[in-house]
Chains A and B, each alone.
Chain A
Amino acid sequence: MTDLLKLSGVHTNIGRYHILQGVNFAVAEGKTTMLLGRNGAGKTTTLRTIMGLWPPSRGQIALAGQRIEQMATPDIAQLGVGYVPESMAVFADLTVKENLILAARDGPLDTARLEWIFGFFPALRKFWLSRAGLLSGGQKQMLSIARAIVEPRKLLLIDEPTKGLAPAIIGSLIECFAEIKRRGATILLVEQNFHVAQMIGDAVLVMDNGMIVHRGEMAALADDTPMQERLLGLSLEAHQ
């Protein structure tokens, strides 16, 4: 299995704060890698650094062997990186349709792919011509994810997709991620909900204080309660 994304000694400073302090990890092609950690560990900063929104002060980031740490955000996106930021990031003044058209940079919307998306997010079909600002929180999150997958991407960076959502909607999202995985997508997913993480993750990275403190198989961490408690201060049982 080849590595699609590789971070080597990445440091990121935001103002006077040194957030990422030498992050090293690789994301295997075709796998879903979960990035876990406490609040403030640097997970969101890691995704934003990969995306070029907060460029690294040191270190290397390679996508399919190509160095991207000096590239501008649009160039990184055009290499095939889809980004789903946290906080239900939709364009509120545009309709659901317009949000998706905007994301389909390679041309008109692919009808078959759209039907595939409607399969697990039927609400998007229902509110196709409604302004995205009028959608519920869960629907906005669905739209945000749909925007990232409306065209095939090499890599998906997804930041806390289940945050603040009702259990029923989380179920739809898990089904969606499972389907995206089946299509062979490579995903780096930040998640606080360990239950969700162990359901969809192949590999796991745990961050603390701006560094990776654990890497391994998701299934192994899910089976090791003492390790969960040591790394994350929680146990899977407590989240079930």
Chain B
Amino acid sequence: MIILSGDPPRSRALSILLIAIIVALAAVPFLFPGAKAMNVASKICIFAALVASYDLLLGYTGTVSFAHTMFYGIGSYAIAIALYGMGPSWAAIAVGIAVGLPLAALLALGIGLFSLRVEAIFFAMITLAVASAFLVLASQLSWLTGGEDGRSFQLPELLRPGTVFVKDFFGVSINGRTLTYYIVFFASAAMILGLLRVVNSPFGRVLQAVRENRFRAEALGYRTVFHLTYANCLAAVVAASAGVLNAMWLRYAGPDTSLSFAIMLDILLMVVIGGMGTMYGAVIGAAVFILAQNYLQALMGVASNAAAEAGLPLLPGLLHPDRWLLWLGLLFVASVYFFPTGIVGRLRGVTRPKS
């Protein structure tokens, strides 16, 4: 209870689901040591933290920001530029973190102070404009960022796949890649637990009050601009940290993997699918979405072949692996339609009360 900040999942089904996801993620290097499974698992960890930080904004303050991938990108690029420029050392990682995270916080502070006073729609538009400008800047400053090609770099010796710690641990080799995975896993877990602590603190309660009625919160004496700006900075720092982890895992930072608006849409979908304003929804949303993104096509291939062998009409064509994006879209439409409060809301059996 202490580690969960007194905010347990409050549903047996949700608890089981969360435990299953966490145990599976913790055991991936031993259960599924292949590269694809490790990539998927690390992406789930990183996005769970990234989505949780977005949930702090969208779910707990009702603020729609399109600049979240920008902060994610700042973290990615900071570590990539530092490791590329200074060479593969721990000092370079420290410099990347020391520059990237405060830069993200400062930008969030600037955006917050200038635009959180205005109505929510204008804040959303301003963040969209700033994020677009940053994307263009990252592409144009090729001497620094590598432009459209991005920056590839090497990690310190200890984190490289070639560094083997245990050659055969129940048939699995424990190497630098495994260590990197566990850094990603534990850092993401720490960020999510930290955010859970934030939303269950008195500060978190004020954020919820602001989400419900900003004027009412001000009438109680709370300077809502300060609270919203602080939340924006916190979310930006966590997003940048997730970006650091992403770049370390991929050993690369580029516009497509760190800054694209497709990532922003994915984050929005994960928050909605998991359940806004719950934090746990970030873990569930990221796991469901990324698993579907990576394995739906293969699953449909199996289903299509099985339907063809059974001689069923239409189904083999409908389930053809090439149509996986159509089914992914339908899956999301259905999940939003049937679970308007997200998977977590559904499992907790609550509907949002009308105020």
Contacts and interface: CB of A to CB of B under 8 A. Distances in A.
Interface of A: 51, 53, 72-74, 77-78, 83, 85, 89-94, 98, 101-103, 105, 131, 133-134, 147
A147 B277 CA distance: 24
Interface stretch (B22-30, B211-219, B243-251): B211-219
11 contacts: A73-B215, A74-B223, A89-B213, A91-B355, A93-B211, A94-B205, A94-B209, A102-B206, A102-B209, A134-B353, A147-B220
Contact of B202 (A73, A93, A101, A147): A101
B221 interface: yes
Given A91-B213, A105-B221, 4 more contacts: A73-B218, A78-B221, A93-B355, A94-B209
Contacts of A101: 202, 205
Given A93-B353, A94-B205, A133-B354, A105 B220 contact: yes
Given A91-B209, A94-B208, A103 B353 contact: no
A136 to B, nearest CB: 13
Among the interface residues A74, A94, A101, which one has the most CB atoms of the partner chain B within 10 A? Answer: A74
A5 B205 CA distance: 31
B218 A93 contact: no
B353 A77 contact: no
A23 B202 CA distance: 39
Given A77-B221, A102-B209, A89 B216 contact: yes
A158 to B, nearest CB: 12
B219 A85 contact: yes
Interface in B337-355: 352-355
B222 interface: yes
Nearest to A144: B216
A77 B218 CA distance: 8
B235 to A, nearest CB: 19
The secondary structure that dominates the A interface is mixed
Nearest to A131: B353
A101 to B, nearest CB: 7
Contacts of B209: 91, 94, 102
Interface of B: 202, 205-206, 208-209, 211-213, 215-216, 218-224, 277, 352-355
Contacts of B206: 102
Contacts of B353: 92-93, 131, 133-134
A61 to B, nearest CB: 15
Contacts of A105: 220-222
Contacts of B222: 74, 105
Nearest to B226: A74
Nearest to A95: B205
Nearest to B210: A91
Contacts of A77: 218-221
A73 B208 contact: no
A38 to B, nearest CB: 25
Among the interface residues B213, B224, B277, B355, which one has the most CB atoms of the partner chain A within 10 A? Answer: B355
Query: Which 4 pairs show the lowest CB-CB distances between chains A and B?
Result: A133-B353, A77-B221, A92-B355, A73-B218
Among the interface residues B206, B212, B216, B219, which one has the most CB atoms of the partner chain A within 10 A? Answer: B219
A72 to B, nearest CB: 8
B212 A93 contact: yes
Nearest to B352: A93
A231 B266 CA distance: 62
Contacts of A102: 202, 205-206, 209, 220
A51 B219 contact: yes
Nearest to A80: B221
A65 to B, nearest CB: 20
Nearest to B223: A74
Contact of B212 (A92, A103, A134): A92
B205 A98 contact: yes
Contacts of B202: 101-102
Contacts of B216: 85, 89, 91
Nearest to A133: B353
B193 to A, nearest CB: 21
